[in-house]
Amino acid sequence: MVNLDFEALRNARAANPAAVAEALANRKRRPIIQGDGKLFIVAADHPARGALGIRKDEMAMADRYDLLTRLATALSRPGVDGVLGTPDIIDDLALLGCLDDKLVVGSMNRGGLRGATFEMDDRYTAYDVEGITRDGLDFAKNLIRINLSDAGSANTLEASAAAVDEAVAAKLPIMLEPFMSEWVDGSIKNDLSADAVIKSMAVAAGLGNSSAYSWLKLPVVADMARVMASTTLPTLLLGGDPAEGEEEKLFTEWGNALALPGVRGLVVGRSLLYPAKGDVITAIDAAAALVHTNLN
């Protein structure tokens, strides 16, 4: 694991807030597509939605210093192309000097807090397109859960369409992460059948006044070839939170899905940052080798 200067980070936040903008403005940027054309991005936008748990540990991501160390370690490894996060995470990583030559993805709608009665009304409470372009980030990302029995989804869809419009105007790529969702015993459950994923993709792809800058971020499900046959948009695979003992199966599923036309890489967070066996470097390196086969 890398060593980070957290005292300098705390001092900058307290005494020099402008240091955040300076660090972001001075970071060395890279093209989105380069080399083999594949992307491996580490995700860390879960805490802002109140989702801190990993497997049976409901507070696994609560220690911010531990999370930042895991993220910085991941970003230091060959084949890791970037990071996805909310402003608090991205600003910390910028101040710690971890974002040079990395893609930075700003997470937008985090207002649908896990377990809240208003969870489906997923407000845009983190980045907006103006903030993403102000900070020189490379990508936007939004979560689009569609619940046909909850009117809150209508607000999310409307706000998501507006975000796509703004991204197009800014010439900013935007990852759309759609699900067909429903309430089950007081919690939101995503339907991971191929038919449901395809339906959610069709809705997401049609949002906004242009699809020119739209990407998809999708779960790996059964019959993934049929899923990918339903879109021409560039697609990244999300990782989820596998049960203990299922990591090997998940890696096999990722490898199979990465070989499909249109799949551009992985966006994975908790399952690699907090692997069941505890070795972040081994988990990250194994995933990077799946995405960038020239690393093998």
pLDDT (tens digit, 9 = 90+) per residue, 97-106? 999 999 999 9
Q: How far apart are the C-alpha atoms of 281 and 287, rounded to whole Å?
A: 10
More confident residue, 88 or 239: 88
Structure tokens at 36: 């083999």
Residue 8 lies in a domain: no
Residue 10 lies in a domain: no
Percent of the chain residues past pLDDT 70, beyond the cut: 98
Residue 37 lies in a domain: no
Residue 247 lies in a domain: yes
Q: Do the Cβ atoms of 186 and 150 come closer than 8 Å?
A: no
Give the pLDDT confidence of 210-245 residue by residue, as tens digits: 999 999 999 999 999 999 999 999 999 998 666 666
Give the pLDDT confidence of 30-85 residue by residue, as tens digits: 999 999 999 999 999 999 998 888 877 788 889 999 999 999 999 999 999 999 99
Q: How many CB atoms lie within 10 A of CB 117?
A: 10
Q: Do the Cβ atoms of 170 and 163 come closer than 8 Å?
A: no
Q: What is the pTM of this model?
A: 0.95
Residues pairing with 104 in the sheet: 83
Domain with residue 80: its CATH number is 3.20.20.70
Q: How far apart are the C-alpha atoms of 235 and 225, rounded to whole Å?
A: 13
Q: Say what the pLDDT of residue 210 is.
A: 98
The total number of structural domains that make up the chain = 1
Q: What is the mean pLDDT of the chain?
A: 94
Residue 277 lies in a domain: yes
Alpha helices in 96-237 (DSSP H): 129-134, 152-170, 194-205, 224-228
Residue 123 lies in a domain: yes
In this prediction, residues 236-261 reach a mean pLDDT of 85
Domain that holds residue 225: 42-295
Question: Hey, what amino acid is at 85?
Answer: G
In this prediction, residues 129-147 reach a mean pLDDT of 98
Residue 251 lies in a domain: yes
